[in-house]
A and B are shown apart, each in its own frame.
Chain A
C-alpha cells in the first residue's frame, strides 16, 4: 500500500472501530514515511469527523463515539515517540472539566477525545472540579475555551459558580464558555451566561471549531 492508501486505511479502521487494524496501519504508514502530523490530520481528524457524522445520522451511538475516541488515543500514543519534541500545531486550546460534586466523567471524556481529534490542545481537569481550579487553569494555560460538563441536575448549578468565579478573576472576557451534559439545557446555558451549549459531543466540537475560525 502507498503512504496515502495507508493514511486512508487508518482513517477507515477508526470509522470501522477496528482497534488492531488501526495500530497495524499506523505502524506501516510510519514505515512508509508518513509524518505524525499527516496521520493526525488525514487519518484521525478525518476518521473522527466521519464517526461524528454517523453519530448525527443515528448510524452510530455514544458507545461508538467512545470506542473511536479510544482508538484515536491509542494511535496518538504510537505517534508520540516520532514527534521528536516537535509539537503538533493546534487550532485552539480548551480547558475542560466536570463540575464540582459530579464524579461522572464519561460525557466530558467523549468531548475531550473528540476535541483532541479535531486538533485542539485539551487540558482535562478531570471530574469534581471546583471553580477555583477552573480559574487557576485559565490563568496558567490561557485557553481559548472553557468547557464544563454535568450529568447530575444537582451539580449543574456549579456551572454558574464557575462563570461567576471567572468574572471575579477578570478572566471571563478572555475565554469562550461552552457547557453540556445530560442535565443541561440550552435555556440553562443562556440563563447563566455561557457562550455556547453542546447538545451532544459532535455539536460541542463543531461550536468550538467555529469559534476558532471566527477568531
Chain B
C-alpha cells in the first residue's frame, strides 16, 4: 500500500482504528489461547472485527506477552481476556515459541483477506517487554542503580523484539504498532537513555511505518517520542488530543484517546456525545485518527464499540489547509 501517513491524512472524515480485538472472542466462542495459537482462528477473529465493526485497518489481537514468553517468562491465560505474565524469568533465555510462529503466520494470512484495508500488527516495545520478562520493579532498579545491567537486559530484549518485528514485516504487514506502555513510568531523562534508543533500533530496522503506542501518564514524554522515528503516536486519556496535536508536528499521526473503561461502562448515547466532544477540538488536524486509549476489554458491549466507531466515522474533518 502507499504511505500510511498519506493514506490516513487523505480521509475526509476521521479514520477509526481502535485497539480492538478481544471483544470478538466471546462473540465467536473462541478462547484467547485458541485464537493466539491458531492462525486460522486468529484470521477468523480479525476478519470478524473488520466486517462487524468496519474499522479502517485490519489488526490481530494485542498480546504483550509474546516476546516475554520467548525470553523465558511464563504466561497465564483466561477465557477471553488478554494474556498476562504469571511468572517473570530468572534468567533471560531466547527461544522461538509456538505463539510467535502462529502470530507471524496470522499476519501472512491477513494480507489475503483484508479487502484493501491496511494490515497492521503489534510488537511489544523493548522497555515494556523487558519489564514483562524480569519484572518492572527489578528493571527500574537496574535502570537507576545497576545501569550496566539494565543495558544488558534491554540489549537482549531488543534483539528479540527487532527480530520479531522484521518477521512481521516479511509476513506482509503494512504497519506495526509498537506497544510501549511501561515507558510512561520513566522520567524524560531515563526514557532518553533506556527506552528511546531501543525503540529507535526496532523502528530503524523496519521499512514499513510504525505507530508508537504509549498509554499511561506520558505527557512528559510527548516531545521525546517524536524522535523515535515513528510515523504515528498513540496516546490515552492522560494526554488530550488537542495537546498532542499542538506538541507533535503535523506530519506525525496521532491516535487516541477514548478511555476503554468508559467505553465498557457508558451508555451508547453518552459515548456518542463524548466521541463528538473528543473530536470537535481536533477537526482541523488531518493527522488525527480516532482510537481508544488502550485495549478494549472483551466484555465491552458491542453496541458501545459500534457507537464509538460510527460516531467517529460520521465526523468530518475540517482541515484548514
Contact = CB atoms under 8 A, between A and B. Distances in A.
Contacts of B140: 63, 66-67
Given A70-B137, A103-B85, A154-B81, A63 B260 contact: no
Interface string A173-188: 0000000001111001
Contacts of B85: 103
Interface string B185-206: 1110010000000000000000
A103 B187 CA distance: 24
Interface stretch (B49-57, B141-149, B153-161): B141-149
B297 A62 contact: no
Contact of A66 (B82, B137, B260): B137
B297 A63 contact: no
Interface string B257-289: 000110011000000000000000000000000
Contacts of A61: 185-187, 190, 220
Interface in A158-211: 182-185, 188
A19 B261 contact: no
A156 B81 CA distance: 13
A60 interface: yes
B305 to A, nearest CB: 13
A109 B137 contact: yes
Interface string A13-42: 000010100000000000000000000000
A104 interface: yes
B264 A153 contact: yes
B321 interface: no
Contacts of B82: 152
Contacts of A130: none
Interface string A47-67: 000000000001011111011
Interface in B70-88: 76, 78, 81-82, 84-86
A156 B185 CA distance: 21
B261 A153 contact: yes
A184 B262 CA distance: 10
A67 to B, nearest CB: 4
Contacts of B306: none
B222 interface: no
B216 A182 contact: yes
Contacts of B294: 153
A19 B145 contact: yes
B25 to A, nearest CB: 12
A19 B147 CA distance: 13
Contact of B137 (A106, A154, A182): A106
Contacts of A19: 144-145
B190 A63 contact: yes
A188 B187 contact: no
B145 A67 contact: yes
A153 B81 CA distance: 11
B56 to A, nearest CB: 23
A60 B185 CA distance: 10
Nearest to B143: A63
B136 interface: yes
B126 to A, nearest CB: 16
A63 B185 contact: yes
A185 to B, nearest CB: 7
B78 A101 contact: yes
B101 interface: no
B41 interface: no
B2 to A, nearest CB: 35
Contacts of A183: 260-261
Contacts of B216: 182
Contact of B185 (A66, A70, A154): A66
B185 A62 contact: yes
Nearest to B131: A106
Interface in B282-314: 294, 297-299
Nearest to A150: B261
Interface of A: 17, 19, 58, 60-64, 66-67, 70, 101-104, 106, 109, 152-154, 156, 182-185, 188
25 contacts: A19-B145, A60-B187, A62-B184, A62-B217, A63-B140, A63-B185, A63-B190, A64-B187, A66-B136, A66-B137, A66-B185, A101-B78, A101-B81, A103-B86, A104-B84, A109-B137, A152-B81, A152-B297, A153-B260, A153-B294, A154-B264, A154-B297, A182-B216, A183-B261, A188-B265
Given A101-B78, A154-B297, 6 more contacts: A62-B217, A63-B187, A66-B140, A103-B86, A104-B84, A183-B260
